[in-house]
Homo-oligomer: A and B are copies of this chain.
Amino acid sequence: MTDLILVGIGDIAKSKHEPAIAASEDFTLRAAVSRHHTVEGVENWSDYDDFLVDGPEGALSLTAPPEARLAMTRKAIAAGRDVMMEKPPAPTVSAALDLAQRARKAGTALLGSWHMRHGIAVLEAQRWLSGRRIRRVDVEWSEDVRKTHPGQDWVFEAGGFGIYDNVTNAFSLMTILLPDALCVTSATHEIPENRSQPIRTDLEMEAGDAPVALKADWRHEGERIFRIEIETDRGTLVLPDGGHALQADGKTLVEKGEDREYQALYASFAGVLAERRVDVDVRPLQLAADAFLLAAATRTDAFDF
């Protein structure tokens, strides 16, 4: 068992990381670092810098928001710590690539996580697609931001990614499902008139010769739609809910079960540690940056939580 230190105790740490660590066969939670919250039954540190100097040994799992996380990750690497980062790996692609470079130089292990890749249906989807020719891809990735980010104004501020906070999850799956490189060819962003970042995006992309369309709207009400449909030369694959379930040609191949994404993520971090690897895949963030580079922006109604 490897000692683990959980840094940044917010919603995602409480709801996803803590249960996954508790269930992990690889990690024991040794300490928590947070300015405002504590975790019962372990050492708690309120100051991150103090922790890095005097805190216990162990690998770090950093769950703080992207902007704060960048400086924290740099400090952790400089202090010789192994780190797993929540997604996205950094506020920009250049900064993410730089983190990977710093970890390589320092000889520390580093994992930039994309939790959706660890859904139970993902491996089976890759297996099904193997050897088939992709003809067309259709993606919808909509949810109600009032439910998923209630009151979190920062998602609509510059650097907050807007709807791409969500869409990078779709990209994280698409980049490991599609064999050819994915490129954005045009993007339309709807930006509420009282906000800076898009609440909706419509993307045209290509994966090799196959056209790929993606739409994502944060004003969606009701059940979330995280749907990827891939038409091939021999049938059509549907991931109806992220990486959690799978259908092919109308038949269910993987039924939606218990969400074990974060447990699988921690198992993957154990592998990164065992092999002393630096695993920072910037492609999902790259596609977001490319979309912003190409985007035609239109103004839409003001949005308030």
A contact residues vs B (CB 8 Å cutoff): 91-95, 97-98, 101, 157-159, 161, 181-187, 196, 283, 286-290, 292-297
How many angstroms from the CA of A182 to the CA of B101 in the assembled complex?
Answer: 12
Which residue from chain B places its CB closest to the CB of A90 in the assembled complex?
B183
How many of these chains are in the complex? 2
Q: Decide: A181 and B98 in contact? CB cutoff 8 A.
A: yes
Q: A288-B293, A292-B289, A292-B292 are in contact. Are A94 and B183 (CB under 8 A)?
A: yes
Q: How far is the CA of A179 from the CA of B156 in the complex (A)?
A: 34
Q: A93-B286, A289-B290 are in contact. Are A296 and B183 (CB under 8 A)?
A: no
15 A-B pairs with C-beta separation under 8 A: A91-B185, A91-B293, A91-B294, A92-B290, A94-B182, A94-B183, A94-B286, A95-B183, A159-B186, A159-B293, A161-B293, A196-B297, A286-B289, A289-B289, A289-B293
Q: Which of B94, B158, B182 contacts A295 (CB 8 A)?
A: B158
Top 6 closest pairs, chain A to chain B, by CB:
A158-B296, A92-B290, A289-B289, A98-B181, A292-B292, A289-B293
With A95-B183, A98-B183, A183-B98 as contacts: A293 and B296 at CB distance below 8 Å: no
